[in-house]
Amino acid sequence: MFDVDAPQEFAFELALCTHLEAATEWVLSRQLGAAVERSGRRIMDVVGVVPGPAFDDRTRITAETIPVRAVESDVGVGEAIARHRAVRESDRLHDAAVDAAVEVGFFETERRKTREYVRQTTRYPDDWFDRLVGVENKPDLGDPGALGRQLRTDVSLGLFDSVILATESHVTRAHLNRIPTEVGVWRFDPETQSRDVIREPTPLPTNAPGVELAEERPLETEIEVVGVDAKARSRRRVAERAYGKGWRTYDAPACAHAEVTDDGRPYCTQFDRVVDPSRACGTDCDAYDPAVAPEIDADALRDARTPWVENPPGVRRRQAGLDRFQ
């Protein structure tokens, strides 16, 4: 049965993404791994990628995520190298990453007799993003859960340039005292999409080693020191994942009461609210009425409302003298 009184964290998160999409030039995504050693250990609710000086160069390559393993491999834009050697001599590159890089147009392949060779189609623009902003959503500060621990880990790790707590609750001094002073605080109303900045975030040292919570047990906490290079790789991974994924990562419910708002959020006319199709809709809902699901054209909305480009020209090229290998 659909619980109409259930916390509306999903609706809050989508409303915030809609607002930030209109108010900033960020590339936005939701629910991304935000740890270094095991990315799934910490999930950031909303990630904002602030475009850098080479952002346009990145948009021309592909609308999809470029595999970070391919970016960091020895495969360059110069002479093509044998695929088997590229994989064998790398401790990070593997066949699946090569296939993914070819599929999105970052690698191109050619065949010489019985061997396959690979090269980059273009140089990767390292400065395509300027900053990463992490937003943790907690609409109700009366039920904080593990909020304090999560935010302390975010600050000590320094994977994001800034971290912000977004809430619908009235923010008291007691609330502010319970979270790290480096964390910014927004009070956000999902109905009016108004955002009040209660506290600005303090920039975090992304170019310095960080400390990541590895395991927490009674009377014992394990931490891992994360080096600068590992953080840089993880920052690139987060940025690439955000660029390829976006935030409209759901389908509308297959129900007669389902509609889609102009900004692409799934809406239930029966309960007059934005709903989470994966948790609030289906046969367990008393109002469920099977029907064809309305379409959400997430890519078209994203292309029209953000700097992300749905259909880039691509960078594949044909070099003189290589036609004989096709």
The per-residue pLDDT for 146 is 85
Q: For 274, phi and psi rounded to 5 degrees?
A: -70, 135
Low-confidence ranges of the chain (pLDDT < 50): 1-7, 318-326
Strands (E), the chain: 27-33, 43-51, 81-82, 107-112, 115-120, 129-137, 162-167, 184-189, 194-199, 210-217, 220-226, 258-260, 266-268, 273-274
In what helix (H) or strand (E) does residue 19 lie, and over which residues does it extend? helix 9-23
Cα 50 to Cα 25: distance, rounded to the nearest angstrom: 7
CA distances to 5, 111, 204 from 126, in Å: 46, 29, 20
Q: What is the pLDDT of residues 66-79, one digit of tens each?
A: 999 999 999 999 88
The per-residue pLDDT for 320 is 37
The per-residue pLDDT for 145 is 80
Cα 148 to Cα 112: distance, rounded to the nearest angstrom: 57
The per-residue pLDDT for 219 is 66
Cα 269 to Cα 278: distance, rounded to the nearest angstrom: 17
The per-residue pLDDT for 319 is 44
In words, the CATH class of domain 20-52+127-204+229-245 is alpha beta
Cα 297 to Cα 260: distance, rounded to the nearest angstrom: 10
Question: CA angle, 226 as apex, 221 and 228 as ends, to 5°?
Answer: 160
The per-residue pLDDT for 316 is 66
Residue with tokens 């409302």, as numbered in its chain? 305
Tokens of 54: 């080479």
